[in-house]
């Protein structure tokens, strides 16, 4: 490259210039244009049906759809979300229309939009998501049931009533006087919608609601059916009208404004969250989305439209149709405007029963079995049921308030009732008890805790495990008083604080929630939480080192600060309690299976956890000498494990084998395990005990090997002398990997170490 060419090139490291606006439009138009047409076809019948269900002018639904698409689509913070009139507000709007009239309802919509803009500018959008999801799901289910109960009367040829109780009580009479033409038309819509997704082939690309309404309309025009059709009072432009101030109690008006603003905001934000999960593009800006929704509601209310929210049905259709940018949502509003301005005659051909059938299906689909199963699984079924009942039989606002109140009460109940249990360790006659408390402990839990502690018999040796993240002074005093009383009666109490609460600070400072729980990743393999890497990854760190370095990073981030005080105490040297001789197998983590930390174990590892006789291997000899003479450990543990590769090799090898010079390093090392093989072949009692517990031959040999190595240590000059003087104890253990349990190995038997021996 010449110097001149180099001067024309962008500076090294500078980002390449992005595509121009026209290029981006051309690149995305082939996706957004067809997607906008699909969304338009879905939104058209839904907007008409929602207007009817809201007792609003028919054109108000189309006005809201136009404004929602163009205004919210242009300003909002969720690019692929499509806004318009939503089923979630039909009950509220119908109540407002009945109370204040249509034009006053438009004024309430304007005020609600202004409140939404204030929410967005105040940057509190995420606070709307603090409402318990079970309450939102139940709210939508209640709205769906209410819509279905209203519209079933329209499908039968009658008209809906103002309350759910009336809709239920008047249903038998409506059934006896049903108009069969309306029933036929509405049933066609329901059948088409229920089975449309099961239709094979490319026909399924067409929106189901549009196909259902068109099919029902064609049917009604083909046969002489006596049915009611949509009636429009003028054109779209005739429907545009300014709102009027509400004439009624201002508290009721303010309640209506707040209700519309909150429901529209929550539904829009929840829809935006759901849409974000459907695509891999730009994430939503929630505060900006509220500003966009508020702007759309202000404009919609000012010109005579319904309230606007983000709608998950249209938004999911938009994503599924392949939309790339907000242009799809904007264009869908433009198509509705063109249709409403030029083709209103077609709207008047649609039967009312057809839209009733559409709304019944929409209402039923708002009651999702997945939400019911989730509520049952999480213990929130009461909250769900009470909220649904409140929305259906009272009104939406009261139902949601009751549901939220019940959810808060249930939350408090769970917080003030930590998990507690008291149980004997081992047999009933062992005299050892364990009391476990998990969760948050406050004075509200004192009756339950004192009742539990009263079950512990006098004189018992008790371990109280406190896995709590909050402990106030009242609970601390209750535990401390019981501890003193129990010890005065001859028992012993050990308080084991497993959670983040510092017991020493509970009585010296105001109670606060503990922080800094140790990461559970300390017990989990790398592969369970680290991504897999290959040498072809674009990373300067070699792939072979990344798991280790990622683990070190995780240690510094989560555990180093907690470990540092303990290590600071060990800065001048170590004083371990035990020498732990175990296999080199990566599945054996001595500190995990012994619940020990830095400074507790002096560990020696080799293949097969072997103790060479004589001085044939100086590494094990050096470890023994240093541990006994310098560190003065009190015990020496030999620990084997299940599925040991060394034991498999010993079991598979022929006794004697090849000459030493012909063996590789592993084969030469495993000659130290031949005494274990001979003891196993001779029917060692440990092998028989292991067989009775269901262990296979490899594990039986592994346990015999532990017993033999313990005997070898007993004959060792250093270890044997220290054991004879009572300065050290030698023991054998075996870790069963599949069950994660530890067994004790003696010279004659095997037993599980599930509790501290008495």
Q: Which helix (H) or strand (E) holds 220?
A: helix 208-222
Q: Using CA of residue 391, residue 394, residue 396, residue 402, what is the dihedral sign?
A: negative
583 among the known binding-site residues?
yes
Rg of the chain (C-alpha set): 37
441 among the known binding-site residues?
no
Q: Which residues, other chains included, contact 241 with Cβ-Cβ below 8 Å and sequence gap of 6+? A: 103, 106, 303, 304
106 among the known binding-site residues?
no
Choose among 131, 135, 650: nearest CA to 381.
135
Which residue shows structure tokens 């606070």? 127
Structure tokens at 624: 């023994």
Choose among 637, 622, 619, 634: nearest CA to 575.
634
Give 378-441 as a DSSP string: TT-HHHHHHHHHHHHHT-HHHHHHHHHHHHHHHHHHHHSS-EEEEEESSSTTS-EEEEEEEEEE
CB 164 within 8 A of CB 393: yes
CB atoms within 10 A of CB 133: 15
Q: Where are the alpha helices (DSSP H) in 438-574?
A: 446-453, 473-488, 503-506, 546-558, 560-569
d(Cα 64, Cα 184) in Å, to the nearest integer?
A: 30
Sheet holding 741-745, edge to edge: 601-606, 578-583, 635-641, 729-736, 741-745, 750-752
Give Cα separations from 233 to 52, 96, 180, 238, 406 (angstroms): 14, 21, 27, 8, 45
Q: Which helix (H) or strand (E) holds 118?
A: helix 102-121
Per-residue burial over 218-227, b = 16 or more CB atoms within 10 Å of its CB, e = otherwise: ebbeeeebeb
Choose among 471, 467, 470, 477: nearest CA to 435.
467
Give 622-649 as a DSSP string: HHHHIIIIIS--SEEEEEEETT-HHHHH
Structure tokens at 228: 């009611």
CA 75 to chain centre: 31
Give Cα separations from 429 to 101, 451, 755 (angstroms): 78, 22, 14
585 among the known binding-site residues?
yes
Residues comprising the binding site?
Answer: 583, 585, 641, 644
Residues comprising the binding site for Zn(2+)?
Answer: 583, 585, 641, 644
């Amino acid at each position: 490259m010449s110097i001149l060419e180099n001067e024309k090139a962008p500076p090294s490291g500078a980002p390449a210039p992005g595509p121009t606006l026209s290029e981006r439009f051309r690149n995305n138009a082939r996706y957004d244009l067809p997607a906008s047409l699909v969304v338009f076809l879905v939104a058209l019948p839904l907007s008409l049906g929602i207007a009817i269900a809201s007792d609003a002018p028919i054109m108000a639904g189309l006005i809201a759809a136009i404004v929602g698409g163009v205004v919210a689509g242009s300003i909002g913070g969720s690019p692929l979300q499509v806004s318009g009139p939503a089923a979630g507000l039909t009950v509220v709007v119908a109540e407002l229309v009945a109370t204040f009239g249509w034009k006053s309802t438009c004024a309430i919509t304007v005020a609600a939009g202004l409140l939404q803009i204030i929410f967005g500018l105040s940057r509190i959008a995420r606070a709307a998501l603090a409402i318990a999801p079970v309450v939102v799901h139940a709210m939508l289910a209640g709205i769906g049931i209410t819509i279905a109960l209203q519209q079933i009367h329209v499908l039968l040829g009658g008209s809906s009533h103002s309350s759910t109780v009336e809709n239920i009580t008047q249903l038998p009479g409506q059934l006896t006087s049903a108009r069969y033409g309306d029933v036929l038309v509405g049933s066609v819509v329901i059948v088409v919608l229920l089975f449309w997704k099961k239709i094979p082939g490319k026909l399924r690309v067409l929106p189901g609601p549009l196909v259902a309404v068109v099919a029902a309309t064609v049917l009604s025009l083909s046969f002489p059916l006596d049915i009611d059709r949509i009636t429009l009072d003028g054109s779209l432009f005739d429907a545009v009208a300014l709102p009027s101030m509400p004439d009624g109690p201002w508290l009721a008006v303010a309640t209506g404004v707040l209700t519309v603003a909150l429901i529209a905001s929550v539904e829009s934000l929840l829809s935006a969250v759901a849409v974000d999960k459907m695509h891999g593009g730009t994430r939503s800006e929630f505060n900006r989305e509220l500003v966009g929704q508020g702007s759309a509601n202000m404009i919609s209310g000012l010109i005579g439209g319904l309230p606007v929210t983000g709608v998950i049905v249209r938004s999911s259709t938009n994503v599924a149709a392949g939309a790339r940018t907000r242009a799809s949502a904007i264009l869908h509003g433009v198509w509705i405007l063109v249709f409403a301005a030029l083709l209103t005659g077609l709207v008047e051909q649609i039967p009312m029963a057809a839209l009733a059938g559409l709304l019944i299906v929409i209402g039923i689909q708002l009651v999702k079995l997945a939400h019911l199963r989730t509520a049952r699984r999480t213990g929130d079924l009461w909250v769900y049921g009470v909220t649904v009942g409140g929305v259906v039989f009272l009104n939406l606002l009261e139902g949601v308030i009751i549901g939220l109140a019940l959810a808060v009460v249930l939350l408090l109940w769970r917080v003030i009732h930590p998990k507690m249990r008291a149980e004997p360790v081992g047999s009933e006659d062992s005299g050892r008890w364990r009391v476990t408390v998990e969760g948050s402990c406050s004075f509200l839990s004192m009756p339950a805790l004192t009742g539990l502690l009263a079950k512990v018999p006098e004189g018992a040796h008790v371990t109280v495990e406190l896995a709590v993240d909050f402990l106030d002074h009242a609970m601390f005093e209750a535990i401390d008083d019981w501890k003193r009383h129990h010890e005065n009666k001859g028992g012993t109490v050990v308080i084991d604080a497993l959670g983040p609460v510092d017991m020493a600070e509970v009585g010296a400072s105001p109670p606060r929630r503990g922080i800094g729980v140790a990461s559970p990743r300390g017990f989990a393999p790398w592969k369970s939480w680290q991504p897999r890497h290959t040498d072809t990854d674009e990373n300067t760190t070699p792939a072979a080192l990344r798991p280790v370095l990622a683990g070190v990073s995780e240690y510094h981030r989560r555990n180093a600060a907690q470990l540092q005080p303990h290590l600071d105490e060990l800065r001048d040297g170590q004083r371990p309690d035990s020498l732990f001789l175990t296999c080199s197998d990566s599945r054996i983590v001595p500190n995990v299976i012994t619940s020990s930390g830095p400074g507790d174990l002096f560990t020696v590892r080799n293949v097969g956890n072997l103790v060479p006789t004589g001085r044939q291997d100086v590494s094990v000899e050096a470890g023994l000498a240093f541990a006994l003479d310098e560190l003065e450990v009190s015990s020496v543990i030999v620990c084997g494990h299940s599925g040991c590769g060394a034991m498999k090799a010993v079991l598979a090898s022929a006794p004697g084998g090849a000459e030493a010079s012909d063996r590789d390093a592993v084969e030469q090392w495993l000659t130290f395990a031949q005494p274990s093989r001979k003891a196993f072949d001779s029917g060692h009692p440990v092998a028989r005990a292991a067989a009775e517990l269901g262990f296979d031959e490899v594990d039986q040999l592994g346990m015999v090997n532990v017993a033999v190595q313990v005997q070898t240590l007993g004959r060792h000059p250093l270890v044997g002398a220290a054991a004879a003087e009572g300065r050290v104890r030698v023991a054998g253990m075996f870790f069963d990997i599949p069950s994660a349990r530890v067994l004790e190995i003696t010279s004659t038997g095997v037993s599980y170490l599930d509790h501290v021996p008495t």
